[in-house]
């Protein structure tokens, strides 16, 4: 018997509109915002829903992104369901208060439409802002398309507000490639979405006058360590909660999400590891290489960048002989941030595959199917040459406009 899922008919939405619809259906109490390209339509749309009486919420415009997150912190500490959105320089201005939100264990949802950081000024998408927030104590999830921007935004409220987690959550989507590209989206019905997200049950809200609490207290060496240790433990222990909520979402939508997703990895000799829209391009390239050249290529996709899934990555790469890790951000004097995470996962693996770091797509430069084929073909050449080592072998800066990426290192 066919399973009936609780979804509406097909819509054609871009990623920004999809995220704003999730905020509407989640019955968010407060959105505090300051606009910035390319995330502006998310909060702009929410404001129109409030203004037109579609929802009973508060939309507050402030003077900066720093103020936007500060307002979110106040509203969340008061017990409200709270969300906002930002990108790039706005995200950078928010960073100071991102640490406040996570340290206070506030379940805020932040939609980040990823965009390059200046200088030079650029409004197109790369992952510089995503990496900027990686140590801020927020759970970070990435959407590969508009459907996922919608789905993950709904899941984010459930994850953040779970009493065993109580941490803020970012949902990332690629600027313009996802945020401004119209695609087929199958939303949940309003009733199904409301039931899935549920009603927020705040913990230690400041408006509970029967039990006064303090937020933002100062601690020094006597207690600061203990607070940060508990916060770190909470984010690491959130993994089974995320898994359970993804499983529950599959039951009502038919769409399955995992913190680490694999494609054609069962027999892969070479693979490419990616985030965001790169994953869909890589999947096409890997399939075509299997047919055209017989290269056993696979794709490893990281859905949940924080907490980083070290064990799952290590297990998925156990039989792979040569790996390409793609970083859509300039490393700034180090290896790519994503590469470092994967290398950390592999440090305790018995397998010793070649791992190559590729910097690509900066400032919105396209990564084509042919580019990915070139990367995977290079990985096969490593396998054929017997390059399996744990030592840093060489640094290169091979960059060409016909390729649109450059290789930073092998290990």
pLDDT in tens, 317-339: 999 999 999 999 999 889 999 99
Task: State the angle between helix axes of 40-51 and 15-25 in degrees (0 to 180), rounded to the nearest 10.
Answer: 40
Give the whole-angstrom CA distance, residue 227 versus residue 24: 34
pLDDT at 394 over 50: no
For the domain spanning 260-410, the CATH number is 3.40.50.920
pLDDT in tens, 373-388: 999 999 999 999 988 6
Task: Work out the average pLDDT over 155-183.
Answer: 98
Q: 169: which strand partners?
A: 109, 139
pLDDT band for position 400 (cuts 50, 70, 90): very low
For the chain, domain boundaries: 11-200+218-253, 260-410
pLDDT of residue 406: 57
Mean local confidence (pLDDT), 121-150: 97
pTM of the model: 0.94
pLDDT over 50 (residue 1)? no
* Cα 175 to the center of its chain, rounded Å: 12
Where is 302: in which H helix or E strand?
strand 297-302
What's the pLDDT score for residue 9? 87
Handedness of CA 143, 325, 359, 288 (dihedral sign): negative
Tokens found for residue 370: 């042919």
8 Å CB contact between 257 and 150: no
Nearest to 261 by CA among 247, 274, 245: 274
pLDDT for 248-260, tens place per residue? 999 999 999 999 9
CB 313 within 8 A of CB 343: no
Q: Which of 251-265, 351-365, 385-399 has the lowest average pLDDT?
A: 385-399
pLDDT band of 407, cuts 50, 70, 90: low
Please state the CATH superfamily assignment of the domain spanning residues 11-200+218-253 in this structure: Thiamin diphosphate (ThDP)-binding fold, Pyr/PP domains (3.40.50.970)
Across 346-371, average pLDDT: 93
Q: Would 11-200+218-253 and 260-410 be classified into the same CATH topology?
A: yes
Cβ–Cβ under 8 Å, residues 324 and 271 = yes
What percentage of the chain has pLDDT greater than the value 70? 93
Q: Quick check: 85 pLDDT over 80?
A: yes
* 227-249: pLDDT as tens digits: 999 999 999 999 999 999 999 99
Residue 397 pLDDT greater than 80, yes or no: no
- Euclidean distance between the first and final Cα of the chain, in Å? 51
pLDDT tens digit string along 291-325?
A: 999 999 999 999 999 999 999 999 999 999 999 99
85: left (phi over 0), alpha (psi -120 to 50) or beta: beta
Q: Partners of 186 in the beta sheet?
A: none
């Amino acid at each position: 018997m066919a399973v009936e899922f609780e979804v509406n008919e097909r819509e054609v939405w871009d990623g920004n509109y999809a995220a704003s619809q999730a905020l509407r259906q989640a019955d968010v109490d407060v959105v505090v915002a300051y606009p910035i390209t390319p995330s502006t339509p998310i909060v702009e749309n929410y404001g129109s829903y409030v203004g037109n009486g579609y929802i009973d919420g508060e939309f507050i415009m402030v003077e900066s992104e720093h103020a936007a997150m500060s307002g979110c912190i106040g509203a969340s500490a008061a017990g409200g369901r709270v969300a906002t959105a930002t990108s790039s320089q706005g995200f950078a201005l928010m960073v100071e208060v991102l640490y406040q939100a996570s340290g206070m264990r506030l379940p805020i949802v932040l939609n980040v439409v990823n965009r390059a950081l200046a200088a030079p000024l650029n409004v197109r998408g790369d992952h510089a802002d995503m990496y900027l927030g990686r140590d801020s104590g927020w759970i970070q999830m990435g959407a590969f398309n508009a459907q996922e921007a919608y789905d993950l935004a709904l899941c984010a409220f459930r994850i953040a507000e779970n009493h065993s987690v109580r941490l803020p959550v970012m949902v990332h989507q690629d600027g313009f490639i996802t945020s401004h590209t119209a695609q087929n989206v199958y939303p949940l019905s309003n009733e199904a979405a409301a039931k899935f997200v549920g009603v927020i049950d705040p913990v230690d809200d400041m408006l509970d006058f029967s039990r006064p609490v303090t937020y933002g207290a100062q601690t020094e060496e006597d207690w600061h360590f203990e607070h940060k240790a508990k916060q770190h433990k909470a984010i690491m222990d959130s993994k089974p909660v995320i898994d359970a909520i993804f499983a529950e979402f599959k039951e009502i939508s038919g769409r399955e999400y995992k913190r680490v997703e694999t494609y054609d990895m069962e027999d892969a000799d070479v693979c490419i590891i990616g985030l965001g829209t790169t994953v869909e391009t890589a999947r096409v390239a890997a399939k075509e290489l299997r047919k055209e050249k017989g290269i056993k290529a696979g794709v490893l996709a990281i859905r949940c960048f924080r907490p980083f899934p070290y064990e799952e990555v290590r297990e998925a790469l156990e039989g792979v002989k040569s790996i390409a890790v793609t970083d859509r951000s300039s490393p700034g004097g180090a290896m790519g941030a994503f590469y470092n995470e994967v290398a950390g996962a592999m440090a305790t693996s018995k397998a010793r595959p070649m791992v190559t770091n590729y910097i690509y797509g900066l400032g919105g430069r396209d990564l084509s199917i042919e580019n990915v084929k070139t990367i995977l073909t290079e990985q096969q050449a490593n396998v054929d040459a017997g390059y399996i080592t744990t030592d840093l072998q060489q640094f290169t800066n091979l960059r060409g406009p016909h390729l649109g990426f450059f290789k930073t290192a092998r290990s």
